[in-house]
Structure 1
């Protein structure tokens, strides 16, 4: 599938602010469903717009899914991509190699080229994660993660899911997807993340705030 100049310009705008990308390329039909922040969010938003204009959102998501699996299975790959010493020829070889795993997805191949040109290949995993967020929003899904020190009981998790679903952060008609993440370092309590919102109710966080107050008092 050949690249056209329009799709290349859309992805190239990833080096500019998100607002500018939205103003220049987004329409009601192709604009990202939610606003993302950070450089990785900028690339993901530009990729979403390009893919939507080409009616290739599903194909793009599939191609990124393949790369996501590859990043998870090959422990050396993330380090290779993040290596600042990669020469132009090295980056070209990396792009060509990765592109072979996503044959048929011009948008993903183009993304790889843009990341390589801008020395951002090491950010590929983060861009994929942000694109997943956009696709979830596109499908009317809201992702939430609940971090606890130990696995939560199914009944407790169900009650938390019900409470989050009724909150203003989800909205009517949305499908909530909840993931329970385990992190013993929080000591206890919970950290709830819904979209770009975070509610930190962990014991570790409370101890940090308490230590800060004690230090200020002393």
Structure 2
């Protein structure tokens, strides 16, 4: 998305924005007590995600903010150069303004959300643009929790078809791992290193049915027997 040449062009074209320090610094502070996030998320990216969640709830913009952060997260995951650019320690104020403007432009109408604008301005002002991917991920966790969703991550060596995922979702939803009234949010991740089988993660629980896990257990048994 943002090459060095494009960054220079954007810097020249982007309006010079002055960030209000009193407002943007508050995103790095702990969330206020009158809005309680559904779960705790940790790390500096978790602090920003929690502050953003609090701001979105207070401004009644939670849904559009969630849409914008989802779009930013997808953009961050797909653009291999973006992470390196955001992590550049020598970004000038002009660079940051250009990056913020381009990020807003890249996610279309979702970028017009004032809560999102202030959030991106906070990251830029505080030299924390490199946290964008982590904040998007942890904000997604907060949104899922607020909607009563539980993450079901199924890791396989190849993508699973919808029928298989649906059967897994049905089986897990009836298990002891899913509380009453909870909804499953199913994701299929591909990792050839598990060699075969499945690794099923339900919230903070992991069921390892992979071939690599079975081989590791067999190797341990053989080693202990010697």
Distance apart, 1:48 and its partner CA = 0.4
Question: What TM-score, normalized by structure 2, do the two folds share?
Answer: 0.73
**Does structure 1 residue 160 correspond to structure 2 residue 168?**
yes
Change (3 A) 1:49 1:6: farther
Quick check: 1:61 aligned with 2:66?
yes
Aligned with residue 182 of structure 1, among 183, 190, 202: 190
* Aligned position for 1:70: 75
**TM superposition shift of 1:128:** 1.0
Q: Number of aligned pairs?
A: 205
Return closer, same or farther for 1:89/1:51 CA change in 2, 3 Å cut-off: same
Asked if 1:26 corresponds to 2:33, the answer is: yes
Alignment pair present for 1:109 and 2:117: yes
Equivalent position of 2:28 in the other structure:
12
Q: What's 1:200 paired with?
A: 208
User: For the residues of structure 2 that align with 1:157 and 1:217, how far apart are their CA atoms?
Assistant: 39
> Max radius of gyration: which structure?
2
Cα distance in 2 for residues equivalent to 1:194 and 1:212: 26
User: Which segments of 5 or more consecutive residues in structure 1 lack a partner in the other structure?
Assistant: 14-20
CA deviations over 1:150-175 (Å, ceiling 9, x no partner): 34465653443223213344211122
Identify the structure with bigger relative contact order (alpha carbons < 8 Å, sequence gap 6+). 2
| Equivalent residue, structure 1, for 2:103 | 98
Report how far residue 190 of structure 1 moved: 1.6
Q: 1:124 aligns with which of 129, 132, 150?
A: 132
Structure 2: give runs of 5+ residues left out of the alignment. 1-18
TM-score, normalised relative to structure 1 = 0.76
